[in-house]
Structure 1
Amino acid sequence: MEIDMNLQNLRVFLKVAELEHITRASEELNLSQPAVTKTIQSLEHEIGLELVERQGRRIALTHAGRVLQNYARQIFALEREMEDALTALRDVEGGEVTLAANTTAGVYLLPPIVARFRARYPQVTLNISILNSHEIVEETLNWNLDFGLVEGPPSALPSGLKVEVFAYDELILVVGSAHRWSQLQEVKPADLGEGELLLREQGSGVREVIEKGLARHNVQVRPLLTLTDNEAIKQMVMSGVGAAIVSSLTVQRELAKGDLVHIAVDGLDMRPQLSLIIRVDKQLSRAAQAFCAFLRPALNHEPELQRVPDESK
């Protein structure tokens, strides 16, 4: 069966699919709710399959709807690539880059890189999201990102991604100045197992590295608290609420001021890898390629990061 599908109708469907709500989709698309409903019904009639089913005020995708959603994402990702390529032919200084980074990279590594990139390419539009590593992988695979920056073992990443490890972070144990461990030189891995650590949420690359690192010492982590923000973890620890294993990048100022104390952990050395991830079948625009080219030299400005050695030398 040959399907002559209208791209505008497909665009409306994708918005409905992403929001799982016809009213919200109509508001974002600046269309009436009946017009959106009619578009979905027209698509279903054209395809000969039901795409959505109502669940109260929300809608859910059928299996056919999920298949169409996946292809629609690819189609509009290619459309964006086409626009970027044509823009590059008119003006190599223009274009748009959409990326996401985990909290450590996004808050502590990217700002100076973005500043230097903007100075060189002021006409390029940057769209940057701060997500956890699991979300970045998902968004990259779903064609919503040009590329992502994640932390954790590349071996755990899906095969559909091209992975370039460009640096190693260092995770350290910190406590507040009034914590009972603050005068110790060192603790044992076993001390960190039961209700001592504040950890990031499941899906965080840093949490995965911590859990695997302690598992090698037969320590199963049971967190005192779980938080979704590095800054919240720092503030809790400085207030005397437990201990935390965090990126050394995130606590340099607090260590220098004495608000936090670095405690060694016997036999525990955790240096998670920072990786650039791209879909293997993704063609980067010139603007995205230029941003990627800024990443490796930018590490010269971050002394706390250990760079991947250049094996060609």
Structure 2
Amino acid sequence: MNLHALRLFTKVAELNSVSKAAQALMISQPAVTIQMRNLEKELGLTLLESKGRGITLTPNGEYLFKQARRLFDLEMDIENKLGQLKNTGNEELQIASTHVPSHFLLPKWLAKYKQAYPTTHIHIKTANSQQVIEELLHYKVDMAFIVKEDGHHPDINYQFLMNLDYWFIVPYGHPLADQKVTLAELMLQPFVSREDGSSTKEYLNALCKVHKIPPPRVGLQLDGINESIHAIAAGYGTMLAPSIAASNFIQRQEVARVFIKDIDIQRPIYLCTRKNEQNTSSTFNTFINIINDSIS
């Protein structure tokens, strides 16, 4: 495959326009058009279709665009790692994680690693599960940690690490504090909800669907676990929270649990890596070994 033509195709697909791609790349529009035709001829597939004054991708074009972006993201990742080796002699470790592993598990694993390898640079990006997987797929990070039951991506390896208990919590002194109620009764309360893309929000909606009750009424939406629990402690609403995050608030009598009849919730934490990729980095593999030793 002609990689130069593929790179041009990627820019055309990003901008939905041959002329805008030509302008961005500072080459002539006819030259881009010829490259697109040659690429389609080489592959034996139609990739682009006219749409008004622009273009749109065919299903084959959508697939190629997705894979091409990953290819060029890998190219950039290689260049970055070579730069790190040239400048410092060490690879940096790039990690993406959802909020729970990032705040409550990774710090102790990273502290143990840094005690043994103090010169290694480690960067962590915290985001929701959807964003974390995108970071991994596009070679922005070397590994990822998520809490998610299903909807696993076919290009990702999911290594199970542990289960975490999840509790429903309300402000301390709330009428439902320490009470056992049905899920339907609890859903009548205003909820503090996470942002779209959060696996906790998806899980709660799925739980309601399974039990054939309306989803929770969202009274407040916040982007992080700690922010959400602090809102509950301040006196508003209810939420589904990981026990590892809520337990200290309960001990300080700032929030209280609500027990749901016939429902106990445990959610899995996974270490995610790209499938069909053999990572030989000593930095990567040593950190994986520290995690496995910590939970064994």
In 2: Cα distance, 1:60 partner to 1:248 partner = 50
User: Partner residue of 2:251?
Assistant: 256
In 1: Cα distance, 2:222 partner to 2:76 partner = 38
1:134 aligns with 2:133: no
User: Partner residue of 1:237?
Assistant: 232
User: Partner residue of 1:123?
Assistant: 119
The counterpart of 2:68, out of the listed 67, 71, 74, is: 71
1:203 aligns with 2:197: yes
Question: Can you give the 5+ residue segments of structure 1 that lack an aligned partner in the other structure?
Answer: 21-33, 54-58, 300-309
Contact 2:180/2:261 (8 A) holds in 1: yes
User: Partner residue of 1:189?
Assistant: 183
Q: TM-score, normalised by structure 2?
A: 0.76
Deviation at 1:291, TM superposition (A): 1.9
User: Partner residue of 1:150?
Assistant: 146
In 2: Cα distance, 1:282 partner to 1:104 partner = 26
The counterpart of 1:80, out of the listed 68, 77, 80, is: 77
Amino acid at match of 1:129: K
Amino acid at match of 1:263: V
Q: 1:266-294: CA deviations, max 9, x gaps?
A: 11111010011222123324222222222
1:159 aligns with 2:154: yes
Alpha carbons of structure 1 residues 97 and 60: separation in structure 2 relative to 1, 3 Å: farther
Amino acid at match of 1:48: M
Contact 1:94/1:121 (8 A) holds in 2: no
Q: 1:57-84: CA deviations, max 9, x gaps?
A: xx99866698456424324425635875
| 3-state SS of 2:200 partner | helix
Question: Can you give the 5+ residue segments of structure 2 that lack an aligned partner in the other structure?
Answer: 16-21, 38-46
1:278 aligns with 2:273: yes
Select between 76-85 and 167-176 the one with higher mean Cα deviation: 76-85
User: Partner residue of 1:219?
Assistant: 213
Alpha carbons of structure 1 residues 45 and 65: separation in structure 2 relative to 1, 3 Å: farther
In 1: Cα distance, 2:30 partner to 2:123 partner = 33
The counterpart of 2:101, out of the listed 85, 102, 105, is: 105
Q: 1:138-164: CA deviations, max 9, x gaps?
A: 2322333322111121x4212222111
Contact 1:175/1:263 (8 A) holds in 2: yes
Contact 2:191/2:217 (8 A) holds in 1: yes
Matched residue count: 280
| 3-state SS of 2:160 partner | strand
Amino acid at match of 2:77: R
In 2: Cα distance, 1:206 partner to 1:122 partner = 34
Alpha carbons of structure 1 residues 199 and 36: separation in structure 2 relative to 1, 3 Å: same
In 2: Cα distance, 1:258 partner to 1:43 partner = 69
| 3-state SS of 2:4 partner | coil
Contact 1:171/1:271 (8 A) holds in 2: yes
The counterpart of 1:48, out of the listed 31, 36, 50, is: 36
Alpha carbons of structure 1 residues 40 and 132: separation in structure 2 relative to 1, 3 Å: farther
User: Partner residue of 2:44?
Assistant: none
